[in-house]
């Protein structure tokens, strides 16, 4: 009986990401929202000015949620992007006790996406190779997957996309192709 109760409790736990009726699945979410993200990543990738290397960054975040973002920055020669997913660590000031922790299911989702969730005093890092167009598409999918799986972004969730070259914009669905 205890095992059955534990199984039921694990199944309906409010900490687990739950898809509401009518929500699109992850694969559909990626297809619908990747266009703006890919375009922004490609724009940053093409800008090879070494003097501007520190400005080749991108942040994507779920609006209205505390610490629900992933940000990336190209290295100097654009062979990889250094990314980090928000852990909640920077929600409070350094001299104050930490108030926000990412849930275990969210951390498991980020770890499955390759982020190092063993970090205790900072965000969760990950390097992404960016040697060709397929890598840039995969980077866009990774950012959106993190928002979907770890931070609860869904269809019609307001999502902001920001970079040095193109300040804040709200993510829009891709134009339908007929």
Domain ranges, ordered by start, for the chain: 24-166
Whole-number Cα distances in Å, 158 to 7, 72, 78, 154: 34, 20, 29, 9
Q: State the pTM of this model.
A: 0.82
Q: How far apart are the first and last CA of the chain?
A: 54
Residue 86 CA to residue 61 CA, distance in Å, equals 10
Q: Which of 80, 62, 38, 74 is nearest to 164 (CA)?
A: 74
Supply the pLDDT for residue 177. 65
Span 17-72, pLDDT tens digits: 444 546 789 999 999 999 999 999 988 888 766 666 677 889 999 998 889 999 99
């Amino acid at each position: 009986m205890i095992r059955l109760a534990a199984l039921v409790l694990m199944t309906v736990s409010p900490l687990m990401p739950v898809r509401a009726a009518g929500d699109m699945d992850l694969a559909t979410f990626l297809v619908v929202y990747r266009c703006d993200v890919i375009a922004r990543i490609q724009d940053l990738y093409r800008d090879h000015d070494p003097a501007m290397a520190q400005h080749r960054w991108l942040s994507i975040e779920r609006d209205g949620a505390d610490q629900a973002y992933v940000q990336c920055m190209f290295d100097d020669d654009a062979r990889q992007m250094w990314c980090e997913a928000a852990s909640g660590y920077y929600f409070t000031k350094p001299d104050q006790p930490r108030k926000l922790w990412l849930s275990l299911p969210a951390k498991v989702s980020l770890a499955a996406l390759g982020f190092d969730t063993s970090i205790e005093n900072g965000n969760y890092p990950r390097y992404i190779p960016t040697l060709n167009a397929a890598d840039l598409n995969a980077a866009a999918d990774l950012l959106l997957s993190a928002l979907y799986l770890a931070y609860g972004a869904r269809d019609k969730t307001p999502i902001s996309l920001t970079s040095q070259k193109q300040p804040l914009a709200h993510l829009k669905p891709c134009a339908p192709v007929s």
